[in-house]
Amino acid sequence: MRALRSILGIKWQDRITNLKVLDKAKSTSIEAIIIKTQFRWVGHVIRMDACRMPKCLMYGELQTGKRNQGRPKLRYKETVKANLQWCRIKPGDLEGHAMDRPKWRDSTHKAAVNFEEAHSQKLTAVQTWEFWYRGLR
């Protein structure tokens, strides 16, 4: 966002929200771009041959080893499962959807759009609440 503000010539003192900066630039947020790229990569890995290294790593489990105490670190598979809600795809149906390339491409695009809409609605609600709360003081 800092680079985008610099390109557009917007100073932080102008107090322009990130949503307005993204609208002015006609751009999407970096989070939406990451989700779309992540889904494109996952679809590519799912369509690979079973003997390929990325597919073995994605579907593999550790045979030996011990995890440290505490909450386990998030793996790539968990972040994909968490982000599948933006596609409205159940984790069990992921492979079936990824095999159909045009359908998967549409799903990844819709996931980015859904994320962007939900994220902007959430930020707008927070900003409205803050504005309303400041008015009560």
pLDDT tens digits, residue range 61-74?
Answer: 767 777 788 888 88
Buried-state track 120-129, b at ≥16 Cβ within 10 A, e below 16 = eeeeeeeeee
Round to whole Å and give the CA distance between 55 and 45. 6
pTM: 0.73
Mean of pLDDT values over 6-27: 85
Q: Of all residues in the chain, what percent carry a pLDDT higher than 70? A: 91
Contact partners, residue 16, CB within 8 Å, separation at least 6: 5, 10
C-alpha radius of gyration, the chain, whole number: 20
Residue 44: which pLDDT band, with cuts at 50, 70 and 90?
Answer: very high
